[in-house]
Chains A and B, each alone.
Chain A
Amino acid sequence: MRVLALAGRRLAASIPTLFLILIGVFLLLQLAPGDTVDAMMAQMGGGDAATAKQLREFYGLDLSVGAQLANYLWRLVRFDLGFSAIYGKPVATVILERLPATILLMTASLSFAFFFGIVFGVLAARRVNRWQDTLISTLGLIFYAMPTFWFGLMAIVVFAIRLQWLPAGGFEDITVSRSGLSRTLDIARHLLLPTLTLGLFYLAIYLRIMRGSMLEVLNLDFVRTARAKGLDETRVVVKHVLRNALLPMVTLIGLQAGTMLGGSVVVESVFSLPGLGRLAYESVVQRDLNTLLGIVFMSALLVIIVNFIVDLLYARLDPRITTGS
């Protein structure tokens, strides 16, 4: 299969990139003052220099930067992400505990933004320069311009505090133990506001791209051919315009998988969700190098996987790619 070969080659090409990113982050964190042991001592309320020295030896922090990096990479090659001094658990365990919340939030926001981006984009393009278009475009601009954290806070004030419809934060209600459907519903209730908060920003981007892309495709010759065949406007849009207009949107998903992870740091903090984004923030503050590198590794992996899927999807959507002409 040509498509798989193509995507596979891309996948192979991303491995060196992955290592470069890890080395870069590793070295960058060496520039920050203090290390894990300093953070631990501060948490413990101070301690003498001898204890600190002992701890540093224990965690291998007394070695040179080069040696530490080599150690880390060697462990990574054996799929060992190391041990988190702060959480007292292997990094892999810490990350796996936090991963579901982030993946759930990202998938939900992305699907929400993508779906409604298409719907509103098509609506705006069909009614270009009329009041519907103006309304949609203005709303899009507002969502785009509004800071995510502010929107999240306002959503909490209105829906959680004033109206008390939805919980203000957390991943699920920990006071009651639930299972099955009721647990799913509970998580959904908790994730509704975070998803909207994160998704609205991306919705604005997708709707703008979709609107522009629709308008461009509507002007192409084959749309005129379709009309000359006697198709009605709905069929022209569904059968001829939509798939062509979707191509730039699909490209955008691949590009935005990475930025969305960054956006989730803010949203997870605002809604106190136990996700990767907040974990990353905490490990920077606590100088938990192993955990941070683990997160970077994990998120790079996520982005690579998303892009791999996008490549396959793109080849499926556009027959011109498979033949390589």
Chain B
Amino acid sequence: MKPILTLESVSVSLPEGADRPHAMEEVSLSVAAGEILCVVGESGSGKSMTANAIMRLLPQGVTIAAGRILFEGRDLAGISEAEMRKVRGAGIAMIFQEPMTALNPLRSIGDQIGEMFETHTRLSRAEIGARVLALLAEVNIPEPEKAAKAYPHELSGGQRQRAMIAMALALDPRLLIADEPTTALDVTTQAQILTLIRDLQRRKGTAVLFITHDFGVVAEIADRVAVMSQGRVVETGSADAVLNAPQHAYTRQLIAAVPPLKAPPPRPLASEPILTMAHVSKTYRTGGFLGRGQRVTHAVKDVSLVLPRGATLGIVGESGSGKSTLARCLVRLIDPDGGEIRLNGRDLAGLTRAEMRAETRNIQMVFQDPFASLNPRRKAGELVAQGLIVHGMARSQALARAAELFALVGLDPAATDRYPHEFSGGQRQRIGLARALALEPDVLVADEPVSALDVSVQAQVLALLAELRQRLGISIVFITHDLRVAAQVCDLVAVMKNGEVVETGPIGQVFGQPQHPYTKALLASIPGQGFGLSRDLAAAAGQA
């Protein structure tokens, strides 16, 4: 098949002073009509830069240094800006990762989709309106008339991404570039959006350049795969070949880092509980004037769970399920409205502020975003030592202990003098762990600790967490939306939906024979099940 887009040894140079001279080096790719090419890589691999280079939407100072970008036989790298604008939207359309920020918050959805026609066609206002409704219906948005008049904040995340897709497909582009279009979405929504993209692409014969970091998504949607690392394409081939028989060492390493969906054999659990939650509830009331028109949200509703000593309890659910609120209630960052949280037999929910501050010795939290959760103005060592100092240790002693903790989490003890921005994402999450472990807590509450990390770094942090659990005997409450990760680290799991726990039990049992329809739906939505399965079987065979 004749390719629609071909990249011939494209190099993109970064401005002077960047950490490397080229964002892309001699990248060669091609996509044909009716084909989905997945570009996979970790952050900094140059995969998003590839998309921006094709659209010629590079940041200032970043330029295409060499190579040709052939779109329908024309070299996009050489044409004028005015010519390029005619290609954007009409010839090549793009959808982005975060549909909330990718849409203008002050203009209605219909208006923003209609702008495609206004820019590239001479259709009348009425015709544009009709086309917009047809497009919204095509991407299966319920009530297209209402959605066209709605503003982005009035739609759900999935609907927003559908609207983005409708906008991108407005002029039947020959090529669609999708830059991590499902990364910000929940797993069930992600499955729907992937199906939608696949269906539309099949029907219209559009070529799709799909950028992702998630091998599950690749297995789900790709016809062909290009793996990128450090601005270079290290491997290309059919999806089947790359996923099941990777040639390049980097690809192998990446695929090995994807956690298998099948839980490892269960570990023996202590019968003695360390943390018990009984009927924990948290309700938010918003708006309303003197009690009128008030909206009540049950963030956490009557949750009762038990964490045995030394075990890991996973709490899984989609956004808005209340899992993070529950985590915050456990360490009393949020005060629960009702229920008991017993740590070593002591009810945390009933403690005064001062008593709770003392009790934080025994229960500590690790946060999701390793970039936002460390104070950028303080040295890493001080951040780790802070808890110890607050709890009465002398400063010099606390700093010495911080260096020990750095060694414990696999960081250079000499690095305590550095500031958070000098560390990589994975290293920062290690600092976060060291900070939480400084007080030698019995229980660690980890709220999405690996969600912001690349898959290979994620594997390292998970391995560290498992090792620490073994060595220090801590018990962990592990909050995650990623069921693959949950399968690997948790002994027990609780599935949450709309603030309630719908199913709980040992992980092998819940994931193996799910009882609740929601759990079944969640598990069925995980992309690339087949890919995980064949590899899991191979691994099992290897072990046997």
A229-B88, A230-B89 known; A221 vs B119 contact (CB < 8 Å): no
Q: In the complex, how many angstroms separate the beta carbon of A243 from the nearest chain B beta carbon?
A: 5
The segment from B97-105, B236-244, B258-266, B341-349 found at the interface with A is B97-105
Other-chain residue from A221, A229, A243, A317 in contact with B89 (beta carbon distance below 8 A): A229
A228-B55, A230-B89 known; A235 vs B119 contact (CB < 8 Å): yes
Taking a contact as CB atoms under 8 Å apart, the answer to whether B96 and A221 are in contact is: yes
Taking a contact as CB atoms under 8 Å apart, the answer to whether A220 and B101 are in contact is: yes
Q: In the complex, how many angstroms separate the beta carbon of B409 from the nearest chain A beta carbon?
A: 34
A323-B153, A324-B287 known; A228 vs B57 contact (CB < 8 Å): yes
Q: Is B33 an interface residue, CB under 8 A from the partner? A: no
Give Cα distance in the complex from A232 to B86, angstroms. 10
Contact size range, A: 20 to 34
Q: Is B24 an interface residue, CB under 8 A from the partner? A: no
B287: A residues at CB distance < 8 A = 324
Give Cα distance in the complex from A11 to B106, angstroms. 26
A9-B289, A222-B103, A244-B106 known; A232 vs B154 contact (CB < 8 Å): no
Interface string of A118-132 (1 = CB under 8 A from B): 000000000000000
Other-chain residue from B89, B102, B153 in contact with A224 (beta carbon distance below 8 A): B102
Give Cα distance in the complex from A221 to B57, angstroms. 12
Taking a contact as CB atoms under 8 Å apart, the answer to whether A230 and B90 are in contact is: yes
In A301-325, the 8 Å CB interface with B consists of: 317-320, 323-325
Q: Which residue of B lies closest to A246 (CB)?
A: B106
Other-chain residue from B86, B93, B98, B120 in contact with A221 (beta carbon distance below 8 A): B98
Give Cα distance in the complex from A9 to B288, angstroms. 12
A221-B98, A235-B119, A323-B153 known; A228 vs B89 contact (CB < 8 Å): yes
Q: Is A188 an interface residue, CB under 8 A from the partner? A: no
Q: Is A178 an interface residue, CB under 8 A from the partner? A: no
Give Cα distance in the complex from A235 to B90, angstroms. 17
Q: In the complex, how many angstroms separate the beta carbon of B167 from the nearest chain A beta carbon?
A: 7
Taking a contact as CB atoms under 8 Å apart, the answer to whether A231 and B119 are in contact is: yes
Give Cα distance in the complex from A244 to B104, angstroms. 8
Taking a contact as CB atoms under 8 Å apart, the answer to whether A325 and B88 are in contact is: no
A230: B residues at CB distance < 8 A = 85-90, 119-120
Q: In the complex, how many angstroms separate the beta carbon of A315 from the nearest chain B beta carbon?
A: 12
Give Cα distance in the complex from A6 to B41, angstroms. 49
A228: B residues at CB distance < 8 A = 55, 57, 88-89, 93-94
Interface string of B198-226 (1 = CB under 8 A from A): 00000000000000000000000000000
Q: In the complex, how many angstroms separate the beta carbon of A6 from the nearest chain B beta carbon?
A: 10
Give Cα distance in the complex from A225 to B97, angstroms. 11
Taking a contact as CB atoms under 8 Å apart, the answer to whether B98 and A227 are in contact is: no
Q: Is A56 an interface residue, CB under 8 A from the partner? A: no
Q: Is A239 an interface residue, CB under 8 A from the partner? A: yes
Q: Is B116 an interface residue, CB under 8 A from the partner? A: yes
Q: Which residue of A lies closest to B51 (CB)?
A: A228
A228-B55, A231-B85, A324-B287 known; A243 vs B119 contact (CB < 8 Å): no
Q: In the complex, how many angstroms separate the beta carbon of B296 from the nearest chain A beta carbon?
A: 15
B369: A residues at CB distance < 8 A = none
Give Cα distance in the complex from A220 to B102, angstroms. 8
Q: Is B302 an interface residue, CB under 8 A from the partner? A: no
A232: B residues at CB distance < 8 A = 82, 85
Q: Is A226 an interface residue, CB under 8 A from the partner? A: yes
Interface string of A236-249 (1 = CB under 8 A from B): 00011001100000
A221-B96, A243-B106 known; A229 vs B119 contact (CB < 8 Å): yes
A228-B55, A229-B119, A230-B87 known; A244 vs B289 contact (CB < 8 Å): no
Taking a contact as CB atoms under 8 Å apart, the answer to whether B119 and A224 are in contact is: no
A325: B residues at CB distance < 8 A = 153
A227-B57, A228-B55, A228-B94 known; A319 vs B106 contact (CB < 8 Å): yes
Give Cα distance in the complex from A224 to B82, angstroms. 17
A221: B residues at CB distance < 8 A = 96, 98, 101-102
Taking a contact as CB atoms under 8 Å apart, the answer to whether B89 and A222 are in contact is: no
Interface string of A11-50 (1 = CB under 8 A from B): 0000000000000000000000000000000000000000
Give Cα distance in the complex from A291 to B6, angstroms. 79
Give Cα distance in the complex from A221 to B115, angstroms. 17
A221-B98, A231-B85, A231-B119 known; A226 vs B104 contact (CB < 8 Å): yes
Q: In the complex, how many angstroms separate the beta carbon of A153 from the nearest chain B beta carbon?
A: 44
Taking a contact as CB atoms under 8 Å apart, the answer to whether B154 and A229 are in contact is: no
Other-chain residue from A9, A239, A320, A324 in contact with B105 (beta carbon distance below 8 A): A320
Taking a contact as CB atoms under 8 Å apart, the answer to whether A318 and B106 are in contact is: yes
Taking a contact as CB atoms under 8 Å apart, the answer to whether B153 and A225 are in contact is: no
Q: Which residue of B lies closest to A231 (CB)?
A: B119
In B160-177, the 8 Å CB interface with A consists of: 164, 167
Q: In the complex, how many angstroms separate the beta carbon of A33 from the nearest chain B beta carbon?
A: 48
Give Cα distance in the complex from A318 to B115, angstroms. 19
B96: A residues at CB distance < 8 A = 221, 224-225
Give Cα distance in the complex from A235 to B106, angstroms. 15
A231: B residues at CB distance < 8 A = 85, 115, 119
Q: A227-B88, A319-B151 are in contact. List 4 more A-B contacts (CB 8 A).
A: A230-B88, A230-B120, A231-B119, A235-B119
Closest 8 CB pairs of A and B: A230-B89, A230-B88, A221-B101, A229-B89, A228-B94, A319-B151, A222-B104, A221-B102
27 sample A-B contacts, Cβ–Cβ < 8 Å, listed by A number: A220-B101, A221-B101, A221-B102, A222-B102, A222-B103, A224-B57, A225-B94, A225-B104, A225-B164, A226-B104, A227-B55, A228-B55, A228-B57, A228-B88, A228-B94, A229-B89, A229-B119, A230-B88, A230-B119, A232-B85, A240-B107, A243-B106, A244-B106, A317-B106, A318-B105, A320-B153, A323-B154
List residues of A whose CB falls within 8 A of some B CB. 9, 220-222, 224-232, 235, 239-240, 243-244, 317-320, 323-325
List residues of B whose CB falls within 8 A of some A CB. 55, 57, 82, 85-90, 93-94, 96, 98, 101-108, 115-116, 119-120, 151, 153-154, 164, 167, 287, 289
